[in-house]
């Protein structure tokens, strides 16, 4: 607790320029950009798979119904 208080106390008043050469990226952007595009790809593949699976299921049901109908004749 005292450690964090000490850090806060050391912070300078107001805005001061960063020392040259010390500017670093705080949050890396590359993983966020890659995650965004990867998620889109996975979401589309998953969605296409669900459509394909549902169409297959309905087709299967149609064929089963046709078979039942022709069997009962």
Distance CA 13, CA 15 (A): 7
* By the rule CB under 8 A, 47 interacts with another protein: yes
* By the rule CB under 8 A, 58 interacts with another protein: yes
The rounded radius of gyration (Å) of the Cα atoms in the chain is 30
Distance CA 63, CA 55 (A): 12
* By the rule CB under 8 A, 37 interacts with another protein: yes
* By the rule CB under 8 A, 49 interacts with another protein: no
Nearer to another protein, 12 or 28 (CB): 28
Consecutive H or E run containing 68: helix 30-72
Q: Which of 45, 49, 61, 67 binds another protein (CB under 8 A)?
A: 61
């Amino acid at each position: 607790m005292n450690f964090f208080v000490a850090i806060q106390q050391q912070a300078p008043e107001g805005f001061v320029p960063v020392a040259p050469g010390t500017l670093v990226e705080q949050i890396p952007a590359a993983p966020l950009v890659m995650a965004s595009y990867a998620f889109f790809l996975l979401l589309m593949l998953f969605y296409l798979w669900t459509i394909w699976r549902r169409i297959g299921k309905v087709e299967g049901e149609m064929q089963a119904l046709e078979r039942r109908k022709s069997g009962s004749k």
